[in-house]
Homo-oligomer: A and B are copies of this chain.
């Protein structure tokens, strides 16, 4: 175990970059995950761990002990850094840190993709929390891929990781995609939510075939150039007098209608 107590420590500065800055995460192809739940999710998905970061004084807490035991059981012994509490807190995205963080690479075990995968497509979802929640819902519904355009928040930020609850380890995520090109060359049905007159009720669709689902940002919805490439524009019927659903709610309704039809 190596101890770090100075903010000038080069390793600490590098970690702070991973915690705070999307460019650092991209340059290093690494990110930080917080707490035992995400660590467990990473282990279950055979995701590699680069190093563990512990908060000084919490090395023997039940959470840390069980995390170390889980690593040991898998024969893993990553480098362990122990950080002074103030330094640890500077790296953690949560108000009450659990005392354990891990650095992981952005690329995990190789996963095959194929043309029968359901895909979540996001255009311009800039809020990291919303993005993480959408990935979580998609992974839960059985989607295997996610295509994100350049306007989306980074899927690997600590905030998106927290909201994703492990979804990032389950999906094959491609960021910075040219969605027009992807959708134009897509061999599956492309479905996009829209309030336009020519859209079809969600409940009238056949969702037993592989589907590519496109969702847009809260304010803007799905961009018109992508809507034009959809096989179907889809509306969720709403009996109440509300203009629209939150994008996370809309995606949950659509993706789980697909789950229902396939049971």
Contact = CB atoms under 8 A, between A and B. Distances in A.
Interface of A: 37, 41, 44, 133, 136-143, 163, 165-167, 170, 201, 203, 236-246, 248-253, 256-257, 259-260, 262-263
24 contacts: A41-B243, A44-B241, A133-B248, A136-B242, A136-B249, A139-B241, A140-B242, A141-B238, A142-B239, A165-B242, A165-B243, A165-B246, A166-B242, A166-B243, A170-B242, A203-B260, A237-B259, A237-B263, A238-B259, A239-B259, A239-B262, A245-B252, A253-B253, A253-B256
Contacts of A250: 252
A210 B249 CA distance: 22
A238 B203 contact: no
B137 A249 contact: yes
A246 B203 contact: no
Nearest to A129: B129
A195 B143 CA distance: 21
Contacts of A170: 240-242
Nearest to A236: B256
A11 to B, nearest CB: 32
A214 to B, nearest CB: 18
Contacts of A260: 203, 257
A242 B139 contact: yes
Given A142-B240, A248-B249, 8 more contacts: A44-B241, A165-B244, A238-B259, A248-B248, A249-B251, A252-B253, A253-B253, A256-B257
